[in-house]
Structures are given as structure tokens and as C-alpha cells.
Amino acid sequence: MQVNSARLIVTLPVYKDTGFIEKACEKLEEITRALTDDFVLQIAEDGSNSSEVVDRLRKNYSNIMYVQHDRRLGRGKALREAWSSVDGEVYVYVDVDLATDLAKLDAYRKLIEGQRQFDLVTGSRYIAGSQTNRPRFRRLASVAYNSMVRLLFRTGVHDHQCGFKSISRRLVKVLSVEAKSDSWFWDTEVVVLAKKLGFRILEIPVYWTERKGNRTPVSRLLKDVWLHGTGLLKLLWRVYFH
């Protein structure tokens, strides 16, 4: 039976990540149920297919919802499409590799319970109390990028990219109209728009470990620079000149 509403919607964005899904779902089912029984665990798969794994999981968990697209939409669009199909009060998304440790620093509980006072709660790898384990070059590039975004848009946020966020229902509704990015830049856009539109933002420390390899191919690096560079230019225009 397809579940289409719950108080809490926990979403795993997936793109060619079949090997991570089972462990992530089992962990999230366990830790979320300790906080509430009223939740949907949503697998938002974009441009790949893990239906065999999902069918196996559904035998044990009746609250799993699977939204799958054969054609690649991009992270932002895939999340917007997934959330438009289910009604909740709080929407959470967590990277499927669980690079953010759910238990350490009590991060997952803070992510959800922070919604009592804030519209956007976002994990941060770069504030006091955080612990980040990733290659030095990636860390330096990420810190530089986030410093630039913070300076350009005055967000006050130190980590716009972290895939560990909770968003209120009213902010999700606004983002369904205002957010334009379909790609990974969506993580940054969400924070900038929330700040611009006067929503309440909380940044929490996390324990974060690189899970998808320690080397970044030059082609991937160039693609990321282009994606985030063009994304910033478009967002600057919208925020300050449109």
C-alpha cells in the first residue's frame, strides 16, 4: 500500500547508489522510530533503478515510498517531484551514503526537533563542534566556496552544501515555486532563498565522513566548478537585480 501522508517525511535522494540503500533504510527506520511513529521513508531515485532492493525492504517496512525516474532529473528537481507526491509537516533529506553520522553529536534528533522553532535546519561541517573527515583539497575547496556564498548573500551559514537538512512544510511550498535549480546547486539555493525570504534558519554541527572515494577526477571538478559558478551567477541576478 502506498503511503501518501505523514507528519515527518524522510527522503533519501538516490542516483546510482543501490549499494547504500539497504543499510541507510534500516538505520533510518531504527533511529526515526525512536523519535516518532508517524513518518514516511521516501526513496527518491533519479536516473537509476533499485527496485529489487526496495521490494525487499518493503517486506519489512510498510512505510517505504518509492519515487523513481528513469530519466535523470537532477537532485533539486527529483526532490521537488518526490515531495509533491506526499503531504507532511516536516521534510527531511539525508544523503544515502550516510556521510553524516546520525547518532554522533545527536545530529539526527536535533535535525528533526529543531523544526519546532526553525523552518530550515541544516547540518554543518564547518562550525564549532563539527568533525569532518575528508581529503584536504576537497575540504579547502568547500570552505572557500561556502565563504564566498556567505559573503555574497549574507546568509550567516557556514555550510550550504551539506546533504542533511530538514525543511518546514511552509518553506517546502515556497521552494516548490521559487527554487529553480535542478542540480546539486539546489542545496545552496535552498539556504539562500530561505534567508532572503525571512525564514528561520538553524545550523547544527555534524560528524561527517567522506564515503564515495578520496579522489576527485579532473572532469568532475570542472563540472562542479561550472555548475556552481553558473548557479551563483543566476542566483545573484535573481536576488539582487530581478
* Interatomic CA distance for residues 203 and 226, integer angstroms: 27
Grouping H, G, I as helix, E, B as strand and the rest as coil, residue 159 is coil
Nearest to 188 by CA among 206, 165, 221: 165
Nearest to 93 by CA among 186, 157, 214: 186
Beta pairing partners, 68: 45
Concerning whether 119 is annotated as a catalytic residue, the answer is no
Of the residues 17, 46, 119, 187, only one is catalytic, namely 187
**Bridge-based pairing state of the strands 164-168 and 90-94:** antiparallel
Beta-carbon contacts of residue 240 (< 8 Å; ≥ 6 apart):
none
Phi and psi at residue 163, to the nearest 5°: -85, 60
Any idea which residues carry the catalytic annotation?
187
